Amino acid sequence: MSTAKLIAQIRVADNTDAERLTKLINVAFRCAEQFFVEEDRIDQATVQSLLVAGEFLIAEVNEAMVGTVYLEPRGERMYLGLLSVDPSTQQSGLGSQLMSAAEDHSRARNAHFIDILIVNLREDLPTFYQKRGYVETGTSPFPTEIRTKLPCHFISMSKELV
């Protein structure tokens, strides 16, 4: 697919999407994070457990799954994670489209804030999220069970939904 602006159909995932979600997330994260992590980002069992705890929004173009983002309610807050865009469609606006859909979905679920964690080594991410109104709120350790090639930590960011 070209990197021209794409308009995707956004829908909520169900259990039948777990395998395709797992593949999409892993290919997207492998492309972005292979310089510091060698392992897959997620397995299908974890995706299935996340489908119980929260929701994945899926972006589809011509019935092909090209992006996803995970949302999990936490009181008046929504945790957002696993923003993933197929490498062949990156730089096409799909990440921003998914973020807008996630924010709208969160407002519809009466969330007042969205919280995210980004890895400090992903230097492109703070600017992407800051442009969308997210502010840094702190840091936290990277999970010790994940082997990394470089030392890293999480940066916490949050956005008030109005």
87-108: pLDDT as tens digits: 998 888 899 999 999 999 999 9
Q: Which residue segment(s) compose the domain that 69 sits in?
A: 9-160
Average pLDDT over residues 54-78: 96
Residue 106 lies in a domain: yes
- Domain CATH number, residue 122: 3.40.630.30
Handedness of CA 6, 26, 29, 53 (dihedral sign): positive
7 pLDDT band, cuts 50/70/90, is confident
Residue 42 lies in a domain: yes
Q: Is the pLDDT of residue 2 over 50?
A: no
How many domains would you assign to the chain? 1
Question: Can you give the pLDDT at residue 76?
Answer: 96
Residue 1 lies in a domain: no
Phi, psi (degrees; rounded to nearest 5) at 83: -60, 120
Residue 3 lies in a domain: no
DSSP one-letter code for 61: E
Residues of the chain above pLDDT 90, percent: 84
Average pLDDT over residues 100-126: 96
Cβ partners under 8 Å of residue 1, min gap 6: 61, 66, 86, 88, 89, 92
Give pTM, 2 decimals.
Answer: 0.93
Please name the residue that has the structure tokens 């979905």: 105
Residue 110 lies in a domain: yes
Q: Is the pLDDT of residue 43 over 50?
A: yes
Average pLDDT over residues 59-80: 96
Mean pLDDT of the chain, nearest integer: 94
Question: Can you give the pLDDT at residue 135?
Answer: 98
